Amino acid sequence: MRRYRTMGVLVAALALLAMARPATAESRIEKNLELQPGGRFTLASEVGSVTMTGASRSGAHIVITSDRVDLNSELEFTFTSGAGWASVTARRKHESDWSHSYSAHFEIEVPTETRTEIRTGGGSITLSGLRGGADVKTSGGPIEVNGLVGTLEAHTSGGPIHLREVTGDAHVATSGGPIDAEAIEGNLQAHTSGGGIRINRVSGYVDAKTSGGTIRATYSPGNRHGGVLESSGGSIEVAIDPSANLNLDASTSGGSVSSDLPVRVVGTVSHSSMHGSIGSGGEELRLHTSGGSIRIRAL
């Protein structure tokens, strides 16, 4: 009898403990929208991180999760779709700021051939396996794009940007963080207000500017498109095809300029500047840093 009484007390204590604990169960919303290949998908959310993936099937599959709050009590969602488009919006229901201790995540699967536009008020954005132009912006968080065929516009107010295997012109900018781009088949514009820039294999014109950091750029074999690479506080190193025909304009306010490639110098030879032509000359390659050295090397 004493044994049953003890077990009853234990069960009651466990029940009270469960009631006292705060609810931490995951909140989840799942939706399917009509969307055919070749269409357009837009997301506008005041909060949350986003992962979007291309798939071989039609339709947009959206899963929204939060590990801290009841999504429907904090956010107002709108899901709409029409001929060739689908859209999702999420707005706060309350004026108070979304607490940093909360999290929300959008997991979205769309047809591979989809044009995308993403806006989030704070969180990371990841795209992969898409064929169509992409325009993404976050008010704070990293951006990662893999395997995109189409033009890219990407901006974050604070965080790193990583690009890999992008076929199309890419314009990316961050207000604070490094930029890393690899295998870009097109022109590249990469601007950061604070961080280094690393570019590995780009086939088009390069516009790379940083307010504080080094720039390392390797052009693809056969790339003769030149570019502008500028740093307000770091060294610059660029590797180009020895057969490229370019006009060179390189200068530094705090270091030296050197080239492993033969340069037909024009004007006065200087330790901190180099002006002339590589090969027979062509498009301009302008390199400038306010604090660091510049090196031009062969692939």
pLDDT tens readout for residues 125-139? 999 999 999 999 999
pLDDT at 117: 98
Mean pLDDT of 157-169: 97
Do the Cβ atoms of 214 and 196 come closer than 8 Å? yes
pLDDT of residue 26 exceeding 90 = no
pTM for the whole structure: 0.89
Do the Cβ atoms of 41 and 59 come closer than 8 Å? no
Q: Where does the pLDDT of residue 100 fall: very low under 50, low under 70, confident under 90, or very high at 90 and above?
A: low
pLDDT at 17: 44
Q: How far apart are CA 210 and CA 232, in angstroms?
A: 6
30 sits in which H/E element: strand 27-33
pLDDT at 83: 83
Do the Cβ atoms of 226 and 205 come closer than 8 Å? yes
Structure tokens at 148: 């995109």
Mean pLDDT value across the chain: 90
Q: What is the pLDDT of residues 193-240, one digit of tens each?
A: 989 999 999 999 999 999 989 999 999 999 999 999 999 989 999 999
Q: What is the pLDDT of residues 56-98, one digit of tens each?
A: 999 999 999 998 778 888 889 999 998 899 999 999 887 655 5
Mean pLDDT of 247-265: 94
pLDDT at 125: 98
Residues shown for the chain: 299
Other Cβ atoms less than 10 A from the Cβ of 92: the count is 15
pLDDT at 18: 43
pLDDT at 87: 98
276 sits in which H/E element: strand 273-278
Q: What is the pLDDT of residues 143-161, one digit of tens each?
A: 999 999 999 999 999 999 9
Structure tokens at 141: 């968080």
pLDDT at 67: 82
Q: What is the pLDDT of residues 286-295, one digit of tens each?
A: 999 998 999 9
What amino acid occupies position 231?
S
Q: Where does the pLDDT of residue 21 fall: very low under 50, low under 70, confident under 90, or very high at 90 and above?
A: very low
Q: Where does the pLDDT of residue 267 fall: very low under 50, low under 70, confident under 90, or very high at 90 and above?
A: confident
pLDDT at 62: 98
What amino acid occupies position 92?
R
Q: Where does the pLDDT of residue 23 fall: very low under 50, low under 70, confident under 90, or very high at 90 and above?
A: very low
pLDDT of residue 10 exceeding 80 = no
pLDDT at 95: 67
Q: Which is more confident, 95 or 8?
A: 95
Percent of the chain scoring above 90 in pLDDT: 78
Q: How far apart are CA 230 and CA 207, in angstroms?
A: 8
